Amino acid sequence: MAAAIPTIAEAARQIAAKKLSPVELTRACLDRVHALDSRLHAFVHLTEERALADARAAEAAIMAGGAKGPLHGIPIGLKDIVDTKGIPTTCQSKLLQDNIPDTDATCTEKLAAAGAVLMGKLTTHEFADGGPSFDLPKPPARNPWNTDHFTAGSSSGTGAAVASGMILCGIGTDTGGSIRGPAALCGIAGLKPTYGLVSRAGVAPAAFSLDHIGPMAWTAADCAIMLQALAGHDPRDPASADRPIPDYRATLGGGIKAMKIGVIHHFHEVDHKVGAATQQGISAAIETFRGLGAEIREVQLSPLQDWHACGSLISIVERATAYEEWARTRLHDFGERMRTRLMLGAFVSGVDYVQAVRRRRELRAELKAAMSDLDVVLTAVFPNEAPKIDALPKWDVFHGPSFMMPFNVAGYPAMSVCSGFGAGGLPVAMQLVGKPFQEAAVLRLADAFEQATPFRNRRPAL
Amino acid sequence: MPIPITDDAFEYLIARAGLTLTDAEKAELKSVCDGIAAMAARVRQPRGRMAEPALTYGFTEEDL
């Protein structure tokens, strides 16, 4: 069923050549939703009529010579913490079951302006954090490679929907790995951009200073297409960066000769040792990059546990702050996992928080110095293939440091790229991290890797 | 090593946060909350009174 799923780049070429109709493409995606979503639970709200209306409008405009670009007529989905005017935005919480926003989030507006076809709202952990919980209004998403297994989260529905071809791309958000995690475990590409590059306006907060919005798609090139539509200054977001936006696809396919990659070996070989498949994927990727002409070096940073502690303390406090009123008055309307996160806020003092924010400055300066003569650094995303969905520790913040949190702490752009498959047939991934606002370098390396390896040719057998 | 939290301190912090927890939730939370103290110990390093926190919003030129 999944063999005919095009990438955005392929679909856009065929649409431009009038060989593919946006309406046909949308119907094919809707067919996949109807066939698969009772098993995958990627959607919390399917907007079928809106999708067909968007697709017809796109088709008419393109036929009339009004093509807007590569996202015009492409079926997409939005994580259900992203506001959509007139469409429920529930954050997968009992607290917001009746919430219908009267405005769009900035990222919703931007994708609509690019001509994308809105297929619906996608499953998330509650308020982009508490999951997977089985006591939420809708069930958690399932991994398309094996539905007994976890997608990771919190952008769980986006990961499952893209991997299974129900949509060609979607919006994820990332506070401590919520784009890169599901991208890794679902075998797709996911980019957390530099903090401030993509507006957070109209997106429910998890932790204000760690929250990022970004693209999830099958390939790095598709992430580049999506980022092009999403990036840019927005006065509605106080953290929005006012900088020129480059052409993110301009350097794709141009080779990576002389690019300099630093490998943070101690993160994934000492501080939190990864399993054999992940290590093999990383080692083989390094050799692939070397073979393509990149220069490989070793990078030493503070222990992963320091980055994890710093980010976790900030995240716990900022989340407890954002949801304090409901925690005080309606704590048991949250799901079990979100409640655990909110409870922890009681145990972090004001001084602890500011010490963490001071440590953050030191860690960011350390990463800046380590990358002064590098284009990208590389480490793991997760230690292993996806675990079973019912085998996850409830207090996961205390169960091994995250490979992703360091780059939320630093605000640097970071991407998950599929680097192979483990013994269980599930994907494994590596993480590529660029300098601030240097997403183009990350995308260039990721695209070169995808072109040089066979991993983008394999889809889940559903 | 962080000092284990006392029952009184635990109850005070829960009350101060305005949280209403079941006995089972309290027991479970008490079994893990020392993990927070361990994280706090990791970020609390000698750095003097002049050390600034990171800016919450926006990269300045010195960050780039």
CA distance A341 to A397: 9
* Contact across the interface for B39 and A309, Cβ inside 8 Å: yes
Q: What percent of chain A has pLDDT over 90?
A: 97
Q: Which pLDDT does position A209 carry in this prediction? A: 96
Q: Phi/psi zone of residue A255: left (φ > 0), alpha (ψ -120 to 50 degrees), beta?
A: left
Question: Is B14 in Cβ contact with A346 (below 8 Å)?
Answer: yes
Q: For A146-181, b where at least 16 C-beta lie within 10 A, e where not — what string? A: bbebbbbbbbbbbbbbbbbbbbbbbbbbbbbbbbbb
Best residue of A347, A352, A412 to probe chain B, by most B CBs closer than 10 Å? A347
Taking CA atoms, what residue in B is nearest to A194?
A: B59
- Going by DSSP bridges, is the β-strand pair A212-217/A295-298 parallel, antiparallel, or unpaired? unpaired
CA angle A176, A382, A340 (to 5 degrees): 45
Pairwise CB contact (< 8 Å): A309 & B45: no
Q: What's the average model confidence in pLDDT over A231-256?
A: 96
Closest CA to B28 of A396, A394, A125, A347: A394
Q: How far is A244 from chain B (nearest CA, A)?
A: 14
Question: To probe the interface with B, which of A313, A323, A355 has the most B CB atoms within 10 Å?
Answer: A355
**How far apart (Å, rounded) are the C-alpha atoms in residues A331 and A276?**
41
Alpha carbon A144 to chain centroid, angstroms: 16
Contacts of A235 (CB under 8 A, 6+ apart): none
Whether pLDDT at A1 is above 60 = no
Contact residues, chain B to chain A, C-beta under 8 Å: 5, 13-14, 16-21, 25, 29, 32-33, 35-40, 42-45, 47, 51-54, 56-59, 63-64
Of A283-297, A430-444, B43-57, least confident by mean pLDDT is B43-57
pLDDT (0 to 100) of residue A4: 79
Query: Which residue in A451, A447, A453, A457 sits closest to A222, CA to CA?
Result: A447
| d(C-alpha A395, C-alpha A48), whole Å | 37
What pLDDT, in 10s, does the model give residues A24-35? 999 999 999 999
pLDDT tens digits along A59-94: 999 999 999 999 999 999 999 999 999 999 999 999
Is the model more confident about A114 or about B57? A114
Interface test with B, best of A233, A312, A343, A368 (most B CBs within 10 A): A343
Reply yes or no on whether the pLDDT at A432 is more than 80.
Answer: yes
Catalytic residues of A: 79, 154, 178
Q: How far is B1 from chain A (nearest CA, A)?
A: 15
Cβ within 8 Å, pair B57-A356: no
Backbone phi, then psi, for A276, in 5-degree steps? -60, -45
Q: Do A361 and B43 touch (CB under 8 A)?
A: no
Enter the tokens of residue B17. Answer: 């946060």
Average pLDDT over residues A164-186: 98
Check pLDDT > 50 for residue A2.
Answer: no
B39/B2 Cα distance (integer angstroms): 10
Q: Would the pLDDT of A46 be above 50?
A: yes
Owner of token pair 């696809």:
A249
Question: Looking at chain B, which residue has its C-alpha nearest residue A320?
Answer: B17
- For residue B40, give the nearest of A208, A342, A348 by CB distance: A348
Using the CB atoms, write b or e for B53-64: b if 16+ within 10 Å: ebbeeebeeeee
What pLDDT score was predicted for residue B1? 62
Mean pLDDT of A368-385: 98
Nearest to A433 by CA among A411, A415, A410: A415
What's the ipTM? 0.93
In this prediction, what percent of chain A has a pLDDT beyond 70? 99
Q: Do A196 and B16 touch (CB under 8 A)?
A: no
Using a 10 angstrom Cβ sphere, with 0-12 exposed, 13-18 middle and 19 or more buried, the burial of residue A29 is: buried
Q: Do B43 and A344 touch (CB under 8 A)?
A: no
Question: For residue range A303-353, what is the model confidence (pLDDT) as tens digits?
Answer: 999 999 999 999 999 999 999 999 999 999 999 999 999 999 999 999 999
User: Which DSSP string do the residues of A153-222 spell out, in sequence order?
Assistant: SSSHHHHHHHHTTSSSEEEEEESSSTTHHHHHHHT-EEEE--TTTB--TTB--S-TTT-EEEEEESSHHH
Count residue pairs from A and B with Cβ separation < 8 A.
113
Residue B58 has pLDDT above 90, yes or no: no
CB A105 within 8 A of CB A139: no
Alpha-carbon gap, residue A263 to A366, rounded angstroms: 15
- Rounded mean pLDDT, A259-287: 98
Among all residues of chain A, which has the CA nearest to that of B14? A346
Find out whether A411 and B60 touch, Cβ atoms under 8 Å.
Answer: no
- pLDDT for A131 equals 76
> pTM for the complete prediction?
0.97
